[in-house]
Amino acid sequence: NAGVTQTPKFQVLKTGQSMTLQCAQDMNHNSMYWYRQDPGMGLRLIYYSASEGTTDKGEVPNGYNVSRLNKREFSLRLESAAPSQTSVYFCASSERINYGYTFGSGTRLTVV
């Protein structure tokens, strides 16, 4: 029972570099989400995929892109990293929209 698996767990990038955060769930959930968490800001939604084949912007989508590769996998890409993107990124999934979320263990990203 792996649940939601995120890779990598830690990453340091230089400004302008690109990278992709990977997320996979093994619970046959339909919906998947990417959040970022900054001190005092709670969890803010970046992008989500309500079902396989669809993606939509959340509260803070600028500077990010996503791909719902299949039902299991939902990746987040930073095309040109900026220091403002230093954060902890969480992937989550749910059986369907408005159901309880299962979160991954997070990726701690630092952009220098």
Binding site for other proteins (CB under 8 A): 31, 33, 35, 40-45, 48, 50, 56, 58-59, 90, 92, 97-106
Report the nearest approach of other proteins to the CB of residue 93 (Å): 11
Are 2 and 72 a contacting pair, CB within 8 Å? no
Please provide the distance, in angstroms rounded to a whole number, between the alpha carbons at the two ends of the chain. 36
Nearer to other proteins, 17 or 30 (CB): 30
Report the nearest approach of other proteins to the CB of residue 6 (Å): 9
Report the nearest approach of other proteins to the CB of residue 13 (Å): 21
Residue with structure tokens 């400004």?
15
Give SS3 for 84: helix
Tokens of 48: 């989500």
